[in-house]
Structure 1
Amino acid sequence: MSESLPIAFAVYPLLLSGISLIWLVSLRHRSWLNWAVWALACGSIIAFAFMTNPWAFTSYYLRYVFLGLFVVVAVFSSLLTKRGGSHSGTRYGRITVPSIVVFFLFAVLDILAIASHYPSGEMLDVTFPLRSGTYYVLQGGASAVTNPFHVLGGSKLALDIVKLNSFGNRADGIAPQALSAYEIFGEKLYSPCYGNIFKVRDSLQDNLPGNPDTEHPEGNYIVLKCAEADILMAHLKQGSIKVAPGEVVTVGQPLAEIGNSGNTLEPHLHIGATKDGMEMGLRFNGRSLSINSVIAGM
């Protein structure tokens, strides 16, 4: 089951976006009001897919392709409506009511997705811990809409970060079986702040993709005390950690490499912060991140 999840994640945004486009382009001879409601409903679905779906399983750039397709389809369907006049007949109410429901449902989800970029509560501002590439938030943000698996796991403000290749994918394919096929595997991790190393684990082997180690959720990890907060950086590569508990580190100091140890389906960096046992949000160079956020490394 876990090995098929990347395929499901890849198909999901394409399917959701495709259905909304087909839904809109199939309209014929409706009234202008009817067309407007359908267009709003489809647009709200496209916006939801654009903001919250995991596009990096195929290509991050596809989200912009579907956004452009929506504009084209909306214009095309409006022209059909203009030619068709208002021959909606008795179908007017039957079609408009469900489209209104869909619009309001996805509009609420879209608002939650936008709000995920503006978390409430105390935040810790640190330096982004990765360099020399383009990085992508695979899961994150202060909302169950953008961060569902972390919310279910009790770390609702944590982030999962991968690296994108030139095609906007986080790997060479949808679900490659070689760890080296994932862009972020072996990537150097740098200290996001000045602080003290609190805990370290470096002994667990890296799992093959799709084979998580559920007995050791964090895998190999570092806990860094930064100001009054603890930053957890997890799923690190076996034997790569360069620091020890009690060591003082500076901003930008190499700490380890990204691996695939612990309860993870594929290589990525899991990062989150706590203060006095309570979770707190992270800002990177003053920026709050959510799913589909892209960061250019230094």
Structure 2
Amino acid sequence: MSKNLPVLFGLYPVLLSGIALIWLLRLRDRSWPNWAVWVLACGSIIAFVFMTGPWVFTSYYLRYILTALFALTAVFSYCRMKCGSPYSRRHDNRISVASVLIFLLFALLNTLAIASYYPSGKTLDATFPLRSGAYYVLQGGASIVTNPFHALAGNKLAIDIVKLSLLGNQADNLAPRVLSNYQIFGEKLYSPCQGAILKVRDSLPDNPPGNPDTNHPEGNYIVLQCLMGDILMAHLRRGSIEVAPGDTVATGQLLAEIGNSGNTLEPHLHIEARNDGKPIWLIFNGRSLSINSLITRK
């Protein structure tokens, strides 16, 4: 089952968008209020998948294409309504309860997605630890809507980061079985702050994609003590860690490489911050991140 999860993650936003577009195309012989509410309902679905869909499995840019298709479909639907008969059947003059419920549900989810960008409580502002290319937040933000797996695991403030190709995806295809096909595998990891190394593990193998090591959730990792808290960087490549407990490091110093060790389906950087053992907001160069955030480094 775990080997199929990336495929499901990649397809679900496309399928959900497709359902919304089909609903919109099927609108005909409706009253204007009925039509307007259905457009709002379908638009709320498109907004939800635009903000929270894991687009990196297909292409980061696909979400813009589907949004444009929604706009064109809405215009087509409007023109068909305007050019059609001014009369409609009686039951079509009533506003659909289903459309209202769909709109309210996705309006709530969209509100949670937007709120996930805004920090509350203590924050740790660090330097982004990756240097060359376009990086994408696969999970992040303080909401179960944008950060479901971390929220269920007890730390909804953790962030998962991958690297994008020129086509806007993380790998050569939807779910490759070779680690080197992932853009971020072997990427250099640099210190996000000045501090001291507290803990290191560097002995675990890098798992084949789709084969997580659930017995060692962090895999190979580094815990770095910064001024405002401790930063954990996990799923690192075996044999790549350049530091040891007790070392003092400067901001931007090479630490390790990104791998696929521990409880992970595919290569990515898991990073989180804690203060006195409690999760705190981790922001980079003054910027809060959530799912679908894009960070470009030259």
> If the length of structure 1 is used for normalisation, what is the TM-score?
0.98
2:75 equivalent in structure 1:
75
Gaps of 5+ in 2: none
- Match of 2:192, as an amino acid? P
Partners of 2:3 and 2:275 in 1: how far apart? Answer: 35
Structure 1 residue 269: Cα displacement = 0.1
Q: 1:19 and 1:271, CA in 2 relative to 1: closer, same or farther beyond 3 A?
A: same
Determine helix, strand or coil for the equivalent of 2:37. Answer: helix
Determine helix, strand or coil for the equivalent of 1:273. Answer: strand
Structure 1 residue 87: Cα displacement = 2.9
- Match of 1:247, as an amino acid? D
Q: Over aligned residue pairs, what C-alpha RMSD do you find?
A: 1.0
1:204 equivalent in structure 2:
204
1:118 equivalent in structure 2:
118
What is the number of residues matched between the two proteins?
298
Gaps of 5+ in 1: none
2:237 equivalent in structure 1:
237
Q: 1:216 and 1:293, CA in 2 relative to 1: closer, same or farther beyond 3 A?
A: same
List 4+ stretches of structure 1 deviating above 2 A: 84-95
Structure 1 residue 92: Cα displacement = 3.0
Is this contact kept in 1: 2:29–2:92, CA < 8 A? Answer: no
Determine helix, strand or coil for the equivalent of 1:287. Answer: coil
Structure 1 residue 91: Cα displacement = 2.2
Counterparts in 2 of 1:264-279, with a 5 A limit?
A: 264-279=264-279
1:43 equivalent in structure 2:
43
Determine helix, strand or coil for the equivalent of 1:280. Answer: strand
Deviations 1:153-207 (A, max 9, x none): 1111000000000111100001101000000000000000011000000000100
2:20 equivalent in structure 1:
20
Is this contact kept in 1: 2:223–2:231, CA < 8 A? Answer: yes
Partners of 2:90 and 2:98 in 1: how far apart? Answer: 15
1:195 maps onto 2:198 in alignment:
no
2:185 equivalent in structure 1:
185
Deviations 1:261-286 (A, max 9, x none): 00000000000000001100111011
Is this contact kept in 2: 1:29–1:80, CA < 8 A? Answer: no
Structure 1 residue 35: Cα displacement = 1.2
Partners of 1:170 and 1:266 in 2: how far apart? Answer: 10
Structure 1 residue 42: Cα displacement = 0.3
Deviations 1:59-116 (A, max 9, x none): 0100000000010000000011112254333323665211011001100100110111
Counterparts in 2 of 1:106-145, with a 5 A limit?
A: 106-145=106-145
